[in-house]
Every structure is written in structure tokens, then in C-alpha cells.
Amino acid sequence: MGPRSNTRAGAAPRRCSVTESKRVLDPVERVSEVVFGVLMAMTFIGAMNVATAGREEVRTVMVAALGCNVAWGLTDAVMYGVAIVTARTRDDLRPRLRLRDLRGALGVFLLVALSTLPLVVPFIALRELGPALLASRVVALAILFLGGWMLASHAGGNRWLGAFALAAIGAVLLAAIVALGG
């Protein structure tokens, strides 16, 4: 979140000042926020028991997943602002937030909060909980695949390798979430 170090091809590493950034959120920050949101939502969704959950329990879990991501999105957005003010203080700049910074914080909030919605759609569209859980997990892996594709593309790497790697990491994390009761 916030200002990052970056390296230009052929140049020595340098610290990227908050005032130098051309984008409000760089691609790594955007993908990372979505990945965090997807994994947090999956902890709630994975907690549903296929054998015992009724429609009301499903609704409760979906509201809880959305609530978690809204709360975390808000926290993440505030910390984005804190990181910017801290960096400006360190760089001897006026430590205040600008409109651009507030747009960045809003972007962080929306990415985390809205990343829950694609995972909830299967529970609205499908009546049976088992297929809805499976569909939601497939959607989560598809989002992670897309995120890996975007990161590899941004880095100039192999997009297929990046996509499959992030999806595989996501599958391992989802398995761990399920194994730990989430």
C-alpha cells in the first residue's frame, strides 16, 4: 500500500517519492488488494457446512463475508493514507493528504470490498449449497488466475506462468483455509 520502491530497467534502484507516482495505485497494489479480499471472503464462505447450512445460514455467512471485506477495506484505505503521510514526513514534504491520495484510498477500499461480490453470486444463482460452494471456489481461483496474468504482464514475465502460479498458490491457500475451518 502507499508509496513503494521501484526499479527502472537499466537504472539503479531508487526510492519512489509519493510526488513522483503517475498512478494512484500501481498494478501490484491493485491485484494485491483484490487477492486479499478474495482470500478473506473465502474464509467466511469456506466456514459453511454443506450438510447443515440452510438458506438463512447462507445469507448470514454472505453478509458476514461482505461485512468483513468492507471493514477490512476501510482499514486498508486508512492505512494507505497513513503510509502516504508517513512517507511525506520522512521526505520532508508537507505531511497532508491530497485529493489524489483520497482517490487512492477509495480505490483500495473498493477493490477489497467489491472483490467479495463475484464469490457471492453463485449462492444467489444456485439453490444447492454444495454446487454454490464449488462455483464460488472456482470463481476465486479464476480471479487469482487473472491476477497472476496481470502481475506477470506488468512485470514483463510469462503471463501463463504467472497466472497458473498465483492460481496454484491460491489453491494451496484455499485448501489451508478449509483445513483450518474457514
pLDDT digits (tens, 9 = 90+) for 24-69: 788 888 898 898 889 888 877 777 655 456 667 777 777 888 888 8
**How far is it, in rounded angstroms, from Cα 179 to Cα 47?**
10
Cβ–Cβ under 8 Å, residues 44 and 61: yes
Q: What is the pLDDT of residue 21?
A: 54
In a domain, 48, yes or no: yes
State the sign of the Cα–Cα–Cα–Cα dihedral 28, 34, 38, 43.
positive
pTM equals 0.75
Domain count for the chain, please give it.
1
- Which phi and psi angles does 14 have, rounded to 5°? -145, 160
pLDDT in tens, 112-158: 889 889 998 888 888 888 888 889 989 999 999 999 999 999 999 99
13 domain-assigned:
no
Let me know if residue 4 belongs to a domain: no
- Establish if 62 belongs to a structural domain: yes
Residue range of the domain that includes 59: 26-179
Query: How is residue 37 written as a grid cell?
Result: 479480499
**Three cell numbers at 43?**
474464509
